[in-house]
Structure 1
Amino acid sequence: MVSSAFAVLSLVSAAAAEFHVVRHVSHTPRALEPAVIPPAEFVVPITSTAPRRQSKKTNLASLRKKLSPTGNTAVLEGADLDQEYLTDVTIGGQTFTAIVDTGSSDTWLIKKNFRCFNLTGFPEDTETCGFGSEGFDTAASPTFKNFPNVSFNISYGDGEFLSGPVGFDTVSVGGLAVTQQEIGTPDFAAWNGDGVNSGLIGLAYASLTSVFNTTDPTKASRANHIPYDPFFFTAVKRGAVKNPFFSLALNRGPLLVNVTEDKNLGFLAFGGMPPVALDDKTAVTVPVQGYSATDGNPTSAPDPNAVFFYYTADVEGYTFPGSTKLNTKNNNTILDSGTTLNYLPSAVAEAYNAQFVPKATFDEESGLYFVDCKAKVPPFSVKLGGKSFPIDARDQILLGGTDDDGKPICISGTQSGGEDTPENVFILGDVFLHNVVSTFDIKANEMTVTRRKKY
């Protein structure tokens, strides 16, 4: 277990040479001049965090299954300590706390009088599902309209599911209001909730939405999938916001098992930049990678048939102290606000974690690198569009609980995401995102990454 992992920690000296991981086969897209991004029109503070959904891993796994001819994919488990950021959303005049997620697309709220089930399908009290409210009362909303003969349906490999009606209503986030926005209002749920959030604000592409042309959730399939415009995409099409991009500034905070209430966890901004200090000299705009409709591989080349799912970046390399040079082949890397840790190719994670003083150790049972909570952190940077973005040392050691003696246990912020194969999905999570403002242009399918000043 964890204690045995710490027992083998030993002091080592980090080599002085630079260890630069680069891609073996480069299809690096053109680097664009950094976009000029004005201050945002609408800004909402992020005020709390909650444990990452166990089901998030199956969202990522489904990415390859949607397009890959073989359907093969490597499932990224993620750590139990991953966190998700929450903010307030008002729908039909009722306000709820919801997850802010760049890794999914639906806006949904659990419906009042929903039925709760456990992960084996047996009915339970509603408290078992762990939502933060009694649910959205569609009957009390003067603007709600039902969408007949369709259903909202998500099923996950771990047994969680959400299903129920679909409707249209006024959705407001941070003052940005969209009328007649399509939303899910599931009334059947098997859910491992956090006791705070009642739904989700999905910010990714329409291909990941979950509405189907059937009222029977067992018959939901790709054949009757009805993609629709997610909240921010609707706002742009309707002219509710001047500029077609949104930004995230996620502040680092205490990583706790329980929900953390904190009024300074960052901002979700629509139409421009959030009110945080920036280092404008380190900024780059790069294309979002779509996925080829023929082989399912990520592509940055102009492709009118490319399908967009997540905000996938072409990472050119990683730099940190060491003495050897590695090549990486895969570049299926997404920027995900719902994942705390960085999950990189296993060879990269292994080489980097060996540079901590004392070096990190890998625990086979948990699949995580553990590190002395007071270890010396080696520098680490991510290269995008020809520019390097360093990660603050404070993001590379995270509190992971206590051992049997009550002593704190820490994990590395950079973990193994599996072997460097085309089927695998890697993640730049909050460990990276704490150090930048990430801006996503949904019309041009580009993302701008801007380094934040030290805070």
Structure 2
Amino acid sequence: MLSSILSASIFLAGAVRAVEYSTTRHISQYSPLETPLLPPASFSSPMVSRTSRRASKAHALHYLRASGISAHTVPLTGAQFDYEYLTDISVGGQNLSVIVDTGSSDTWFPEMGFACFNLSGHPEPVSTCAFGSEGFDSRISNSYQAYPNTTFSISYGDGEYLSGSAAFETVSVGGLTVKHQEIGVVSSAAWVGDGINSGLLGLAYPELTSVTNDIDHQDMKYNPFFFNAVKQKLVPYPYFSIALNRGTAAGTHSPAADPHLGYLAFGGIAPVPVTSTCTTVPIQGYSLTTRAPTADRHSTYMYYTVDIHKYTFPNSSTVVTASNSTIIDSGTTLNLLPSEVAQAYNKGFGTWHDGLYYVDCAAQAPPFSVTLGGKTFSTDPQDQVVWVGTDKNGNDLCVSGTQDGGPQMMGSVFILGDVFMHNVVVTFDIQKNQMTFTQRKSCFHSIYVYHIRDNHPNSDNNPTYQTHRAYIPCASEHTSHPAE
């Protein structure tokens, strides 16, 4: 348990520090767009698990900028203390559980027989890397095709790395099957796993893919999974949509799987109840030379980055809360916002210690809303209290859902993570390069408190009761509700 607590704290601290390395900031030139009528998704994949948030993921943003390296619905679930969302995926007919990530682009898996290393580069047993399976076995796949003279490689700022080669394979998610999909096949890994996930499904733009040519060492950008699905005309609309549920109390405190945590949907909006509050905004491009967001029409798309008009909360009038260039990232647990915004929000709520705002786990979080595209989206106070483990005495430790993402400077990039995404359905249009945000109905995963009378011989004279809490989803949660 101690190692899990430590890794939870490390991921949070690492995530907060990473954004400080951003370089330039631009003036917003974006306006709201006409919001389309979003159809129900053709394919849906439920989120089947959440797993611990990795420090390496946050470091990757800095690494990419600093080094210049260049419908169907599935359910999502959670594990390892409900920090990241997983879904089931089929690759070459083999089923694996993978992280769903809008902040990266590669789909990768460890291959069976991969070499495991610790962060110092020393060989370790495969179990040390703690993937959720023995890995992908290309030998038993009829659709596997190796891609000669290629290298798939990702290095992270905390010492983790994945390397191997590229290949082509049939990949299925939520009934959506893409043939001849390029994937990363990991043969060497320095990885601190959780024993549940066995790879990653990247949903961001091709520019963030990580394959190079062994002959001239040039980047070989390729179409990620959903981009190929659109190219192959497998979906009626070029949308994918994500609805993330808040984890249950049991899942938050357990490394085991936590089911029913939302949906990843392809071809339309995810099937959860929504309100009529919605807006559509353009996605920002990036400069290939500076790796910073830009409004230039010749820019390249990388992350799902949007402009934020303002954040509203008690004390928000004391700071300029607008921040451009904010990534919508399902692979980041917290909101990582400008230093002055995080400081103002956590005044009287969070206590700064070792680079994080800690809060009382029983605290009532201040109201918090986000305005973009001319519409304001509220967040549930429950999402602003994030459990991260226990102290040496067994007491729960919680942090604020809104943390310091570094100072506002020219080109600074911030993140709205799961804390915000629990409250909206985000629909990504990869052809028009725009995103639609739709407010979710607030009843999902509401808390129901009930009391059970103790059954003791003397209970009639002096009855006592035990208090229990259950998390109850909306009755209509599994019904499609396109934006009005």
Q: TM-score, normalised by structure 2?
A: 0.80
* Larger deviation, residues 388-397 vs 80-89: 80-89
- In structure 1, C-alpha distance between the alignment counterparts of 2:379 and 2:322, rounded to whole Å: 23
Query: What is the RMSD computed on CA atoms of the aligned residues?
Result: 2.2
Match in the other structure for 1:102: 102
Aligned equivalent of 2:456: none
Residues 170-218 of structure 1: CA deviation (Å, up to 9, x unaligned): 1000000001111111111111111111111000011111111017xxx
Question: Shift of the alpha carbon at 1:156?
Answer: 1.7
Q: Which runs of 5+ in 1 are unaligned?
A: 3-23, 69-79
* Per-residue deviation, 1:433: 0.1
Structure 2 counterpart of 1:38: 39
Output the CA distance in 1 between the equivalents of 2:63 and 2:301. 13
CA–CA distance in structure 2, aligned partners of residues 118 and 405 of structure 1: 30
SS in 2 for 1:378: coil
User: What's the CA shift string for 1:46-76, capped at 9, x where partnerless?
Assistant: 01111012210222113432669xxxxxxxx
Q: What is the aligned counterpart of 1:318 among 295, 311, 319?
A: 311
Higher relative contact order (CA 8 A, sep 6+): 1
CA distance in 1, matches of 2:36, 2:342: 32
Give the Cα separation in 1 of the matches to 2:337 and 2:200. 26
Distance across 2 between alignment mates of 1:403 and 1:132: 27
Match status 1:183 vs 2:183: yes
Indicate which of 388, 404, 413 corresponds to 1:416: 404
* Partner residue in 2 for 1:388: 376
Q: Which residue of 2 aligns with 1:230?
A: 224
For residue 112 of structure 2, give the secondary structure of its aligned residue in structure 1.
coil
Show structure 1 runs of 4+ deviating over 6 A.
none
Verify the 8 A CA contact 2:51 2:81 in the aligned structure 1: no
Superposed displacement of residue 260, structure 1: 4.0
| CA distance in 2 between partners of 1:240 and 1:376 (Å) | 45
Rounded Cα–Cα distance in structure 2 between residues aligned with 1:260 and 1:286:
37
* Secondary structure of residue in 1 paired with 2:89: strand
Q: Is the 8 A contact 1:64 1:423 kept in 2?
A: no
Q: Write the deviation string for residues 253-282 of structure 1: whole angstroms up to 9, x where unpaired.
A: 1463653422210000001111100012x1
| C-alpha separation in 2, matches of 1:121 and 1:405 | 34
Note the alpha carbon deviations across 1:345-400, whole angstroms, 9 max, x for none.
1101111111x5xx32111x2x1111222223221100110111111111111223
Tell me if 1:309 matches 2:293: no
In the alignment, the residues of structure 2 paired with residue 66 and residue 279 of structure 1 have an alpha-carbon distance, to the nearest angstrom, of: 42
Distance in 1 between the 2:56 and 2:125 partners?
21
- Asked if structure 1 preserves the Cα contact closer than 8 Å seen for 2:50 and 2:81, the reply is no
Matched, 1:274 2:270: yes
- 1:113 aligns to what SS in structure 2? strand
Distance in 2, Cα, partners of 1:173 & 1:105? 15
Report matched runs for 1:6-405 at 5 Å.
27-65=28-66, 83-214=83-214, 224-254=218-248, 256=252, 258-280=254-276, 282-293=277-288, 295-300=290-295, 303=297, 305-322=298-315, 324-327=317-320, 330-354=323-347, 356=348, 359-363=349-353, 365=354, 367-405=355-393
SS class of match (1:119) = coil
The 8 Å contact of residues 205 and 230 in structure 1, kept in 2 or not, is answered as: yes
Residue type of the partner of 1:284? T
Per-residue deviation at 1:165? Answer: 2.2
Q: 2:435 aligns with which of 407, 424, 447?
A: 447
Q: Which residue of 1 aligns with 2:19?
A: none
Quote the Cα distance in structure 2 between the aligned partners of 1:81 and 1:292. Answer: 37
Map Cα deviations across residues 408-429 of structure 1 (whole Å, 9 max, x no partner): 2221111111111235331100
> In the alignment, is the contact (CA less than 8 A) between 2:307 and 2:323 conserved in 1?
no
Secondary structure at the residue paired with 1:405?
coil
Letter of the structure 2 residue corresponding to residue 202 of structure 1: G
Q: What is the CA distance between 1:453 and its match in structure 2? A: 0.5
**2:229 maps to amino acid:** A
- SS in structure 2 of the partner of residue 58 of structure 1: helix
Q: Identity over the aligned pairs, expressed in percent?
A: 53
C-alpha separation in 1, matches of 2:209 and 2:291:
18
CA 1:81/1:350 → structure 2, altered by over 3 Å: closer, same or farther? farther
SS in structure 1 at match of 2:113: coil
Structure 1 residue 35, shift from structure 2 partner: 1.8
State the partner residue of 1:12: none
User: Number of paired residues?
Assistant: 408
Q: Against the structure 1 CA distance between its residues 435 and 232, is the aligned structure 2 distance closer, same or farther, given a 3 Å change threshold?
A: same
| Offset of residue 164 of structure 1 | 1.2
